[in-house]
Amino acid sequence: MPRSDRSDEDDQESVRIFRLPYDAPRISEADYFRKTDEFRVWLKTEKKRYFDELSGDKARSYFRKFVKAWNKGKLTKSLYAGVDPSSVSAESQTSYKWSFKKSRADDDALRAVREEVGAATYRKDNNSSANPNASTSRSSRVQGPTLPSASDLAYARELTRDVEQEERSLKRKRDKAEARDRIEDMVGPKEVGREGMLEKKRAKRESDRSFRERGDEGLEAPESTLLGGGDSFKDQIAKRDAAKNRYEAAREEKAATARERFNAMRERNDKTMAMFQAMAKERYG
């Protein structure tokens, strides 16, 4: 038998013999949703990254590394023991700080949903147990509404991530717009595009022509020019004001569009929060 084949078999045999801490089972990429909480903690502590700030492809790439480290027993032992979803704080999931305040009822509702999801994930099926008391206790438990599926929870996380990214993007745009406004308040708006280039060329031609026409008596100038009068000066003022008005109208239109997009994203996020609150209320009263 070739040496490479023997080494592969030895590696496979060592994997079969090697036991993970707390007799935890080995996992695969198919356990992406089942091990989300452990994955989040590992990302934060080992990679200094936040799950809610990763794209779907990037999160899957990191999860493949997480699976390899898990199966080799290289992770912190507490991860193999399991992570309680209610113990994973919001600050450990994202570095972003929400600009709006959540009420105590919102926090309680989210905590209740996390606990219910964690119980559904880690609850062992004891229906075949010989203990009648345990069976009676389970049968007398009040049944609540159906829990959201893994795909529903993933969609909720993606929606929250989109809202955060949109809010950060809008904040950066607002900061840039305010900086431009401060500069324009000091120096005034500048001509842009083809109109600005033509204006510069006209000003240069007029300057050259007036210089040539002065001749030897270059210091002489009409009173209207010295005092800022004449049609040419008034035209320049009118053009400047018109350009400023066009710029302000375009800026206001962009700001209105940005506000509409932000309000739409905020409404979607509020609906998601309301859904979780309704689930928790139906479950716990």
Q: Please provide the average confidence, as pLDDT, over all residues in the chain.
A: 72
Residue 220 lies in a domain: no
If asked whether residues 198 and 250 sit together in one domain, one would say: yes
Q: Give whole-number Cα distances, 274 to 103, 155, 159, 210, 267, in Å.
A: 13, 15, 14, 72, 10
Per-residue pLDDT, 280? 78
Closest by CA to 135, choosing from 144, 126, 143, is 126
Residue 93 φ then ψ, to 5°: -100, -25
If asked whether residues 88 and 192 sit together in one domain, one would say: no
If asked whether residues 46 and 184 sit together in one domain, one would say: no
What is the number of domains present in the chain? 2
Q: Following CA atoms 58, 64, 65, 66 in sequence, which dihedral angle do they give, to the nearest 10 degrees? A: 100
Residue 144 confidence class, pLDDT cut points 50, 70, 90: very low
Residue 3 lies in a domain: no
Residue 217 lies in a domain: no
If asked whether residues 25 and 157 sit together in one domain, one would say: no
If asked whether residues 273 and 197 sit together in one domain, one would say: yes
If asked whether residues 30 and 119 sit together in one domain, one would say: no
Residue 44 lies in a domain: yes
Instruction: Provide the terminal-to-terminal Cα distance of the chain, rounded to the nearest Å.
Output: 67
Residue 1 lies in a domain: no
When comparing pLDDT for 156 and 245, which is higher? 245
Residue 107 confidence class, pLDDT cut points 50, 70, 90: low
If asked whether residues 27 and 78 sit together in one domain, one would say: yes
Q: Which of 1-10, 145-154, 202-211, 274-283 has the lowest mean pLDDT?
A: 1-10
Residue 259 lies in a domain: yes
Per-residue pLDDT, 67? 95
Rounded to an integer, what distance in angstroms lies between the CA atom of residue 65 and that of residue 227?
Answer: 76
**For 182-238, how does the pLDDT look when each residue is reduced to its tens digit (9 = 90+)?**
776 666 555 556 777 787 788 888 877 776 766 555 555 555 555 555 567 777 888
When comparing pLDDT for 99 and 159, which is higher? 159
If asked whether residues 65 and 172 sit together in one domain, one would say: no
Q: Which domain holds residue 238?
A: 111-123+144-212+226-285
If asked whether residues 274 and 172 sit together in one domain, one would say: yes
Rounded to an integer, what distance in angstroms lies between the CA atom of residue 264 and that of residue 256?
Answer: 12
Residue 149 confidence class, pLDDT cut points 50, 70, 90: low
**For 15-24, how does the pLDDT look when each residue is reduced to its tens digit (9 = 90+)?**
456 789 888 9
Residue 244 lies in a domain: yes
Residue 47 lies in a domain: yes
If asked whether residues 71 and 24 sit together in one domain, one would say: yes
Per-residue pLDDT, 150? 63
Burial of 187 (0-12, 13-18, 19+ CB in 10 A): exposed
279, 148 contact by CB (below 8 A): yes
**For 38-48, how does the pLDDT look when each residue is reduced to its tens digit (9 = 90+)?**
999 999 999 88
DSSP-derived secondary structure for 93-119:
T-S---SSPPPHHHHHHHHHHHHHHHH
